[in-house]
Structures are given as structure tokens and as C-alpha cells.
Amino acid sequence: MVQTPYVVGLCSRLAVALTLLVLCCRPAACQEPGKPDTARGGVDLPSLPSCPQVPANLGEPLVDAPEGLKRLDPASPVWIDKQRKIVVLLGSTCKAGYPLEFFATYPDRSYESVVSIYSRPSLVHAGLLALGAKPGKPVQWDPNFVPPSGTEVAIDVAWKDARGRRQTARAQEWIRDIKTKKPLAVNWVFAGSVFWEDKTTGSKSYLADRGDFITVLNLPTALLDVPLQSASALESRMFEGFVERIPPPGTPVTLILKPKL
């Protein structure tokens, strides 16, 4: 069979996606805490946290035509729809009334996030690859600032209000600039994080799996980052939760990621 460029490219994307799935699902992905490394700009990294426990009340994905969703992992609430070119995952809202580091991260870091999620970022990375999205590069700070790059990804959120009615919004509407009080004005980009190899054991880690999932400040290990300069120092953070628009903390929410292919 003659392999067209499309077929070759598709096979390549699927091979990378399968590699990510293997890495994120093997037991080492839930290793014990306490072992630092130095992959993040020369600063000790925390060890990979325990796999997030999925709350029982998350419900089903709040999307049209849910029959088109294909689950990526039986233990994680994350799906893709190849026809509509979306990645779907479940989470729950945080208090968010503070300077933000993330739009979405693990529950143990919810004090600086808008949404808590219960799936490994590596699974979402694999889903984006399977849809044809292309990872770019995480932010670069030295010797000069270079913003993160990659396929642009729009994010919508869906939830049920107090009357049980489905509501939707753009993720940017839940984040505002601390100074101007205006919502975030850009989509995220598929920066793609990085792999780090332990030189002693040879094991590999996908660094976004430490929780650097969807950020609103620039992290060199982020899966999805904002393509603008956003400092990480607490006193310099640019964004906070738009609390008047966010459902009460603990509300189940569906995130719908739409790469602009």
C-alpha cells in the first residue's frame, strides 16, 4: 500500500499518542512523593502527585451528541470526539477569588486555579494529537522571553445551574485581568510541556503531569499556556477568577477543548 503524506502524518501522531498513553497509565505515573528533580529551569521539581481521585458527583459530559465521545482511559473522565474535533473532560469549580496560576489543575493546587481536574494532562495531550493538533514549544525565558507556541485551543465550559439547566461559557469569561477587570482576551496554545528522563533509572516523566495543565501564567512545563508574557511571581500575577461569573465551588463542570486546526 502506498503511504500518502496524510497517512504517514496520521500514523506518526497516533504513535506519539500511544506513547503518551503508555507513559501516563503505567504504575510509575503515580510514584510516591518526595523525590525532587531539576528539570524546571534548574529548580527542584516536586515529585509526581498521587493520581487524582474522581468524585462520584461529576455526572456525565454536558455535550451535544455524547454518543460520539470515545473515552481515552477507563479510570479518567476524558474523551475525544474525532468527528467534531474536540477533547472533553470533567472537573469541578474552585473558589478562584485570588491571583491565579492556572485555569485548570489538580485538586491539591485548587487554591490557585479556577477548575480542579481529575485526568492526567498527558491523556489530554494524546487526545489533541489524535485530533491533528500540533504541539509547539513552552515558554522560553533565557536569554530572552519567547512566548509559548502551538496549535491554538479554544476552551468552553458547561455546567448545570441551580435549576438543573445547562449553561455554557467561554473559559476566558471566568478569568479577568487584575488591573483592568476585563476578561482574558486570548485563547490558549498547545505548548506541549516536555519529557524529563531520570539519568539514574532511565524512567521518563511528562512534566505537565505534575499539575501544569492549563495555565494563565507562563510555565516551561505547561500543556496549554497563554501566548503572552504573564509572570509567575505572586506579586506580579496578572489574572484572577471572575468570581461573579463562576458557579459555586464544587460545581461539576465539563471542559470542551477545541483545537483550531
pLDDT digits (tens, 9 = 90+) for 18-70: 444 444 443 333 332 233 333 444 434 446 666 688 999 999 999 999 999 99
pTM of the model: 0.81
Query: Is 86 in a helix, a strand, or coil?
Result: strand
pLDDT for the residue numbered 21: 46
pLDDT digits (tens, 9 = 90+) for 128-138: 999 999 999 99
Distance CA 163, CA 239 (A): 30
pLDDT digits (tens, 9 = 90+) for 157-201: 999 999 999 999 999 999 999 999 999 999 999 999 998 888 888
The angle subtended at Cα 119 by Cα 45 and Cα 9, nearest 5°, is 90
Neighbours of 183 (CB within 10 A): 17
pLDDT average, residue stretch 4-26:
40
Helix%, strand%, coil% for the chain, nearest 5: 20, 30, 50
165 Cβ contact partners less than 8 Å away, ≥ 6 residues apart:
none
Neighbours of 104 (CB within 10 A): 28
Distance CA 92, CA 143 (A): 38
Residue 250's pLDDT band (boundaries 50, 70, 90)? Answer: very high
